[in-house]
Amino acid sequence: MTTSGSDVTVENVVRRVAAGHRGQRGALLPVLHAVQAELGHVPQEAIPVLADEFNLSRADVHGVVTFYHDFRREPAGRTTVRICRAEACQALGAGSLVGYAREAGLSLGETTADGAVTVEQVFCLGNCALGPTVEVNGRLHGRVGPAQLGAILNGTVSS
Amino acid sequence: MNNSSDSTAHSDFTARSDFTARSDFTARSDSTPRSDSTAKVYVPRDSAARSVGADEVADALQLAAARGDFDIEVVRNGSRGMLWLEPLIEVVTPHGRVGYGPVAPSEVEGLLAAGMLDGADHPLRLGVVDELPWLARQTRVTFARVGVTDPLSTQDYLEHGGLAGLRAALELAPEDVVTEVTESGLRGRGGAGFPAGIKWKTVLGCTDELKFVCCNADEGDSGTFADRMVMEGDPFMLIEGMTIAAHAVGASEGYLYIRSEYPDAVATMRAAIGIAREHGWLGKGILGSALDFDLQVRVGAGAYICGEETSMLESLEGKRGMVRAKPPIPAIEGLFGKPTVVNNVLTLATVPIVLADGAKAYQELGVERSRGTQVFQLGGNIAHGGIVETAFGVTLRELVEDYGGGTFSGRPVRTVQVGGPLGAYLPTSMFDLPMDYEAFAAAGAMVGHGGLVVFDDSVDMAAQARFAMEFCAEESCGKCTPCRVGSVRGVEVIDKIVAGEHRDENLALLEDLCDLMTDGSLCAMGGLTPMPVRSALAHFPDDFLGGRRSLEIQPVQATGVRTEGTA
For B344-362, what is each residue's pLDDT tens digit? 999 999 999 999 999 999 9
Q: How many residues does chain B have?
A: 567
Q: Does B382 touch chain A (CB under 8 A)?
A: yes
Give ∠ CA B265-B267-B269 in degrees, rounded to 5. Answer: 65
Give the three-class secondary structure for A124.
coil
The residue of chain A with its CA nearest to that of B305 is: A68
Per-position b or e across A83-119, b if 16+ CB within 10 A of its CB: bbbbbbbbbbbbbbbbebbeebebeeeebbeeebbbb
User: How many residue contacts between A and B have a Cβ separation below 8 Å?
Assistant: 173
Q: Does B299 touch chain A (CB under 8 A)?
A: yes
Reply yes or no on whether the pLDDT at B564 is more than 90.
no
Reply yes or no on whether the pLDDT at B257 is more than 70.
yes
Residue A28's Cα: distance from chain center in Å?
17
Reply yes or no on whether the pLDDT at B400 is more than 80.
yes
Q: Concatenate the DSSP letters of all residues of B262-318 into one string.
A: -HHHHHHHHHHHHHHHHTTSSBSSGGGSS--BEEEEEE--S-GGGGSHHHHHHHHTT
Enter the ipTM: 0.94
Cβ-nearest to A88 among B51, B304, B379: B379
Of the candidates B455, B449, B436, the one whose C-alpha atom is nearest the C-alpha of residue B535 is B455
Reply yes or no on whether the pLDDT at B96 is more than 50.
yes
pLDDT for B392: 85
Chain A residues near residue B51 by CB distance under 8 angstroms = 127, 130, 133, 140-143
Q: Does B223 touch chain A (CB under 8 A)?
A: yes
Cβ-nearest to B555 among A63, A96, A141: A96
Q: Concatenate the DSSP letters of all residues of B450-506 into one string.
A: -EEEEEETT--HHHHHHHHHHHHHHH--SSSHHHHHHHHHHHHHHHHHHHTTTHHHH
- Average pLDDT of chain B to the nearest whole number: 90
Residue pair B87/B54 in contact (Cβ under 8 Å)? The answer is: yes
pLDDT for B36: 62
Residue pair B427/B415 in contact (Cβ under 8 Å)? The answer is: yes
The residue of chain A with its CA nearest to that of B452 is: A88
Residue B24's Cα: distance from chain center in Å?
24
The residue of chain A with its CA nearest to that of B422 is: A87
Cβ-nearest to B50 among A25, A86, A140: A140
pLDDT for B191: 74
Q: Does B194 touch chain A (CB under 8 A)?
A: no
Cβ-nearest to B553 among A68, A96, A126: A96
- Work out the average pLDDT over B309-327: 96
Strands (E), A70-112: 79-84, 110-111
The dihedral formed by the CA atoms of A101, A102, A105 and A111, expressed in degrees to the nearest 10: 70
pLDDT for A157: 54
Q: Is the peptide bond before B87 cis (omega within 30 degrees of 0)?
A: yes
Q: What is the pTM for the complete model shown? A: 0.91
- Work out the average pLDDT over B404-420: 96
**Angstrom distance (rounded) from CA A142 to CA B92:** 28
Q: Do B555 and A97 touch (CB under 8 A)?
A: yes
For B137-150, what is each residue's pLDDT tens digit? 999 999 999 999 99
Burial of B146 (0-12, 13-18, 19+ CB in 10 A): buried
pLDDT for B549: 57
Query: Which residues are within 8 A (CB) of B85 and not within 5 positions of it... i.e. 6 or more apart?
Result: B99, B101, B102, B126
Q: Does B456 touch chain A (CB under 8 A)?
A: yes
Q: Do B261 and A126 touch (CB under 8 A)?
A: yes
Reply yes or no on whether the pLDDT at B561 is more than 50.
no
- Split at pLDDT 50, 70, 90, the class of B484 is very high
- Split at pLDDT 50, 70, 90, the class of B505 is very high
For B32-84, what is each residue's pLDDT tens digit? 444 468 999 999 999 999 999 999 999 999 999 999 889 999 999 999 999 99
Share of chain A above pLDDT 90, in %: 87
For B201-223, what is each residue's pLDDT tens digit? 999 999 999 999 999 999 999 99
For B455-478, what is each residue's pLDDT tens digit? 999 999 999 999 999 999 999 999
CA atoms within 13 Å, Cβ hemisphere of B246 = 30
Query: Which residues are within 8 A (CB) of B504 and not within 5 positions of it... i.e. 6 or more apart?
Result: none
- Split at pLDDT 50, 70, 90, the class of B6 is very low
- Split at pLDDT 50, 70, 90, the class of B406 is very high
Question: Which residue would you say has higher pLDDT here, A103 or B30?
Answer: A103
